[in-house]
Structure 1
């Protein structure tokens, strides 16, 4: 436990220093501790989930995967010590925080648990809305996926089997990536077109599928990320919704949800579309749960288990 918190402190400090050097504004409203204090009032039985790094795994932290001027973006990678032919399937984890807060350290605990089951996991930093509006963050994540393919041999990655796992706003991003493979908009202006930023599966943990939808209630934070309200930018709100892009090329997806419908708005309509193309999906919804349930026991382990079973089905 002590080693884990030391690691998080170093990770947060390095990230904060990097932001100070480039004068990037930081929203610290969404942290693990503040979320725990808030949710414990309603769910007094919860505890913060933790996991140690298995002796069979290696962790390389604070690696630079992309530079934008003097701005460096980082990731942390966890991978098995043992080498195998063709490498291991990989998962890139996208943190939540309303597209404007949170950081990649919030995905480390679940990344370690998934890696124990024979996966390479990557916790990624990306530009948030106070720094850059949509689609910059998505372009960053796709850059990280290309980095994974560029470094596949070094980190034991099977480049043909990469999934995106996102939480809340990160879940929205993961689902959008899984329905827009090949869309150059999300590659960015400096992308190497020879290296694919595509993914082969999605784990959407309580991420909205459609911004303007009867089940959704996205407003200020979405408007900030998308550059305006729905009335201002209806085409962008639709474009940024995974539901708008579902077609025969969409990838298998698992939805792991809280009991609050607005955090998975558009999910059931998306499943209907996926079914029409015979694309595999599954839904797991925890009753009577807070939105950020994945941080806490008793929901942490079932979330991991659902994820691993889905990944094993798709990739192994």
Structure 2
């Protein structure tokens, strides 16, 4: 089955007849932001509080490091690490922002990176090409390049190259799971940057990211009221190219090689479409996983209190258990 999906994907990437590039505007889409999400969510959750950036004296930040250049396009990331907890090799966390593969910014997760760094993790927040700039799988190539860059720089930031967790929220959660299920798979590596290192993740944290674009429990691909985020990203609607949508789903590749995975979810059921089927494969192969679900929480819960702090605790507990820190 996996071979068939990869074959379909290869054909789709090499034969783009009928593919729509109308969403590739070259203009950054700023519709999803913490501020806009808050305006929507506070109507139903009036007690929520946006988590703003922290100022930890022990956490050093290095921003706007170029991890890959594609033509004239520089892709940047930021590094957050604790200067007081550097006696032993640490765990790295790559944090992928959400926004429907079309919008969003990495700065949205600076508070998460700062808080996790204060606990001793080395955190990286990469940008990637959104669907306003390039279609799937460009964003996948970018995050793979970021993982390889991070692995190449393990000694520079004093973390264990075999303890790299990929964490993402929403669309970033889907991509984190995709990184976990397609590590070192040639089709998804790209040819641009940091090719001497490996792209596999050693752990995955999926925060409300779908596991399948075609699962019956999901809602991605509904274009009845406007072009969906997935349709923009793939350049095809689900009806036009359902096999491509399936071939782009993490659930299509979960296997014995998938790393331990933590799922942290809101109360929005379609945001974790495919989760139970995914876990069945992990269980079958003896791979550890956890599910943490916040009753009544909106999709953007990890940006607010009262859910931010327990989310950080769940991440720390999981990675401690996985890596025996």
Scaled by the length of structure 1, the TM-score of the pair is 0.90
Indicate how the Cα distance of structure 1 residues 211 and 59 shifts in structure 2: closer, same or farther if over 3 A, else same: same
Tell me what 2:73 maps to.
71
1:115 to 103, 106, 117: 117
Tell me the CA shift for residue 192 of structure 1.
Answer: 4.4
Q: Aligned with 1:73: secondary structure?
A: strand
Tell me what 2:249 maps to.
241
Pairwise CA RMSD? 1.4
Tell me the CA shift for residue 193 of structure 1.
Answer: 3.9
Tell me what 2:230 maps to.
222
Tell me the CA shift for residue 37 of structure 1.
Answer: 1.1
Tell me the CA shift for residue 83 of structure 1.
Answer: 6.9
CA distance in structure 1 between the aligned counterparts of 2:307 and 2:89, rounded to whole angstroms: 30
Tell me what 1:204 maps to.
206
Q: Aligned with 1:278: secondary structure?
A: coil
Higher RCO, 1 vs 2 (CA within 8 Å, ≥6 residues apart): 2
Deviations 1:152-188 (A, max 9, x none): 2222221111011000000000001101112112210
2:51 to 40, 49, 52: 49
Tell me the CA shift for residue 231 of structure 1.
Answer: 2.2
Tell me the CA shift for residue 86 of structure 1.
Answer: 5.9
Describe how 1:138-287 pairs up with structure 2 within 5 A: 138-219=140-221, 220-287=228-295
CA contact (8 A) 1:149 1:195 kept: yes
CA distance in structure 2 between the aligned counterparts of 1:192 and 1:65, rounded to whole angstroms: 8
Tell me the CA shift for residue 85 of structure 1.
Answer: 6.0
2:134 to 132, 142, 148: 132
Name segments (4+ residues, structure 1) moved above 2 Å.
82-87, 190-194
CA distance in structure 2 between the aligned counterparts of 1:61 and 1:213, rounded to whole angstroms: 38
> Are 1:313 and 2:315 counterparts?
no
Q: Tell which deviates more after alignment, 25-34 or 149-158.
A: 149-158
Indicate how the Cα distance of structure 1 residues 66 and 193 shifts in structure 2: closer, same or farther if over 3 A, else same: closer
Scaled by the length of structure 2, the TM-score of the pair is 0.87
CA contact (8 A) 1:133 1:227 kept: yes
CA distance in structure 2 between the aligned counterparts of 1:41 and 1:201, rounded to whole angstroms: 35
CA distance in structure 2 between the aligned counterparts of 1:130 and 1:50, rounded to whole angstroms: 27
CA distance in structure 2 between the aligned counterparts of 1:289 and 1:249, rounded to whole angstroms: 32
Tell me the CA shift for residue 130 of structure 1.
Answer: 0.9
Tell me the CA shift for residue 104 of structure 1.
Answer: 0.2
CA contact (8 A) 2:59 2:82 kept: yes
Give structure 1 stretches of 5+ with no counterpart: 1-22
Q: Aligned with 2:64: secondary structure?
A: strand
